[in-house]
């Protein structure tokens, strides 16, 4: 489990230098797109990954993703949520 989390974090860190255009963000300039793009760029996820999480995550899990002033345990919960849905997403795609 710990090795997988380190691998997940490295994948997110590897995307640090990627621009929004390279991530393929589909924002069209609206207010909702600005919020969506802020979340996608903060967690370095693609539109497809973001759509999958929004469709499948529970409301309390989404609250962790958009929350502010996280404690360390909240940040750990965010990593667990992202790990869960990124794994599911990439298993569905493959």
Total number of domains constituting the chain: 1
Residues 16, 19: Cα–Cα separation, whole Å:
8
**How would residue 80 be classed by pLDDT, with cut points 50, 70 and 90?**
very high
Residues 44, 42: Cα–Cα separation, whole Å:
6
pLDDT (average), residues 9-13 = 50
Question: Which of 9, 4, 41 is CA-nearest to residue 25?
Answer: 41
What is the pTM for the complete model shown?
0.66
DSSP state, residue 57? S
Residue 79, in any domain of the structure = yes
Q: Which residue did the predictor score with more confidence, 18 or 5?
A: 18
Residues 10, 31: Cα–Cα separation, whole Å:
31
Domain of 53, in residue numbers: 31-94
Residue 24, in any domain of the structure = no
Residue 42, in any domain of the structure = yes
- pLDDT tens digits, 23-44: 665 556 677 777 888 888 888 8
Residues 81, 42: Cα–Cα separation, whole Å:
15
Residue 38, in any domain of the structure = yes
């Amino acid at each position: 489990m710990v090795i997988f989390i380190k691998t997940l974090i490295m994948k997110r860190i590897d995307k640090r230098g990627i621009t929004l255009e390279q991530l393929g963000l589909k924002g069209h300039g609206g207010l909702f797109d600005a919020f969506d793009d802020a979340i996608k760029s903060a967690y370095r996820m693609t539109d497809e990954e973001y759509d999958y999480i929004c469709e499948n995550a529970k409301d309390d899990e989404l609250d962790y993703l958009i929350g502010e002033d996280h404690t360390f345990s909240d940040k750990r919960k965010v990593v667990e949520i992202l790990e869960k849905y990124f794994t599911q997403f990439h298993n569905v795609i493959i």
